[in-house]
Structure 1
Amino acid sequence: MLVVVGILIFFLGLLFSIAWHELGHLATAKLFGIKVTQYMVGFGRTIWSKRTGDTEYGVKLIPFGGYIRMIGMFPPKKDEKYGRTASSAPWRAMIEDARQMSAEEITPEDAHRQFYQRSPWKRVIVMMAGPVMNLILAVGIFTAILMGHGIQTPTTTVSTVSECVLPADAKNTAVCPPGATPAPAAAAGFKPGDRIVEFNGKPYGSWDDLQLAIRGTAGAVPVVVERDGHRVTLTANLLRTERPKIGSTSEYEMVGFLGLTPTSHLVKQDFGGVVKTIGGFVSLTAQKVVELPQRVPDLVSAIFGGERHQDSPVGIVGASRLGGEVLASDSIGVDDRIILMFNLLAGVNLSLFVFNMLPVLPLDGGHIAGAVWEGIRRRFAKLVRRPDPGPFDTARLMPLAYAVSLIFIAYSLLVLVADIVNPVTLF
């Protein structure tokens, strides 16, 4: 029951995130006098709608996105002749169909309220407003959690000591198989509760710095620990072995291995810490978005019974299922479950921001790129005293936009199937 409730709650949070995104587009479009005919959450058949003024507000049957409909997204066709050939005709038809659909709702009294007529900087604001709303929501949630609740921060105090060296992808890490190599920390005599003061002759006050030093070292090194109020020097013979890259569960590298885990405690962040942490989240999210094409083989493998990594891409179904798993988990307290659910929701909004800023149509970033390019062309023409080149015709890019859309749809279906047959799990 808790799983179902968690899925429902998280799903509603995702729908709110979509509506929040489209609200940014809607508000700025109306601010700049652009006529908006529809504000919809979802796609497909309309299940509820209400018209207020110029705009129809509603919810559609397929809750996998949303949109607003602005009139005059594309400028009218210039009076010029095109040499039409058999090979170019389909592309021309595609462009003109898109232009015609954009012009269908334009009436003489609304002729001055078209999107393309607004100056490039206004169009950039309208198209950026959606992703920025997701960013604002993500930053707001992360800030409240980091400053009000805190973040689990690893320390230099030892929590557990591994007894042996296991493969990086080992499923059962609690049992050492016969003949396994003893872990360097266990062989050196490390104990839970030891606080590492010095490693290889250098003092360390944070686990992050100490971890990097361990991973970059091999061979015998002296380690000073504080134990029961006394300093003890241990000698650990670090091995080089394959471990997951920091921040990843599916990519590996050869690093120095000691064989211990640190204790963690909640630390509330100040403003500087919040900026640094959120900056790291944005950077990591951008990296994961760029890596999406590389995830296709893993997703296909997961569908046919392979391993599904925790950092694998998930869609609305997979993300909602994670929300249900978090709420139903009895391995963490109720407060931690709520915090984790909000963290997941903030992470989804951060992903929506980064993804939608990609400079390709039909994403918001594609329209932003078109408006920026138009501004550059017009500014350059003014500087060299040439005639105004007019608005950039994004309709010419519609064949590319359709191709990108098909790729996105195929990828989304691949993720959906993987989320159903082999979902990502946190616990």
Structure 2
Amino acid sequence: MAAITNAPVLPRPPVRASKLSALYLTPSRVPCGLIKRNVASSASRLSLLPPIPGNPAPPEKVRFFGETLNQPPRRRVLVDFPICPASADGGELKVSDGFDKPSKSFAERYPALITGFFFFMWYFLNVIFNILNKKVYNYFPYPYFVSLVHLLVGVVYCLVSWAVGLPKRAPIDKELLLLLTPVAFCHALGHVMSNVSFAAVAVSFTHTIKALEPFFNAAASQFVLGHQIPFSLWLSLAPVVIGVSMASLTELSFNWTGFISAMISNIAFTYRSIYSKKAMTGMDSTNVYAYTSIIALFFCIPPAIFIEGPQLMQYGFRDAIAKVGLVKFLSDLFWIGMFYHLYNQLATNTLERVAPLTHAVGNVLKRVFVIGFSIVVFGNKISTQTGIGTAIAIAGVAIYSLIKANIEEKKRKAAAVASS
């Protein structure tokens, strides 16, 4: 190690834990002075203290002696720090401490690309779920049992995830259980009724009816929770109601079972939103959804047994296996449950990455994708009036979502200003 030339050693200040104190020096063109550096800090900055008269200009490296805690007293260690030229005004010096900063991960370097991937997977899994789910109903028309399978596969997935610690299971107590029970009941009811509708009518028609969900949300917010809904929001819902009415009147697959089930699903999911707000806890969304799925599973067991159980045992399973085989039948049931759980989880993960406005637009586009793909895959024939009505309804949902997201954003900013 090279010796220090033309650099008199100054008296050492005391060395404290986590600090390496010492003795100098700055590059040429900068007044020499005492430099102190906290080596426990990741920031590679040195503060220049007042210059010491008589110190000559050292080489273009900062070299200083320091004492470490694990070494005998008065033992000195020579340390070299390459530095960049200092500013002419003798300000703060930037020093490289010899340790490279960790490189950014791919997600940190390309956040937009990762968010786009989340959106793509959300849409992809949702479309695959709807298509495969409908195909299962073509040879196994038992929506109560299929709904039970959806939740059962999701619950098994959550239990396995907890077992490996991804994520870590959050503890639950009696109070939280009571709060989540009505949420889970509404989740189970809405999910079962959606599947009853999927089994009875075309997927595109069910999603058109479910476009009315914002209308039920607005009605419940004003008349149940007592929140004042702006007139602009009510006005944006008019195209939704008109479009759904137009599509329903001329839908070729229309039947009352599919229509009423989809409407009940809208109401159930509306109340799920209300109870979810009352059950807000410090628990993360993944654990909340896992507990909700477990409780909802118990609500789905009785109707599957009492409504469809006798038919399933008599000829339901037998007919399905005779049509597609045991392996395909079990595989289809497993994958529809897996896709159902994963697309819901991806929707939550996407919401956490983007602003509410972006998520609202994405949710509308998702419904357009599902309707479009279901028409192409199943070859459903729709009348001109049905197509126009569906387009009007989706446009109304888009307008509603944009207005609502803007209102929520203004409230958030106002609350932030008030708290600051």
Structures share a fold, TM > 0.5? no
TM-score (norm 1): 0.22
Q: Could you say which structure has the larger radius of gyration?
A: 2
TM-score (norm 2): 0.22
Query: More strand by proportion, 1 or 2?
Result: 1
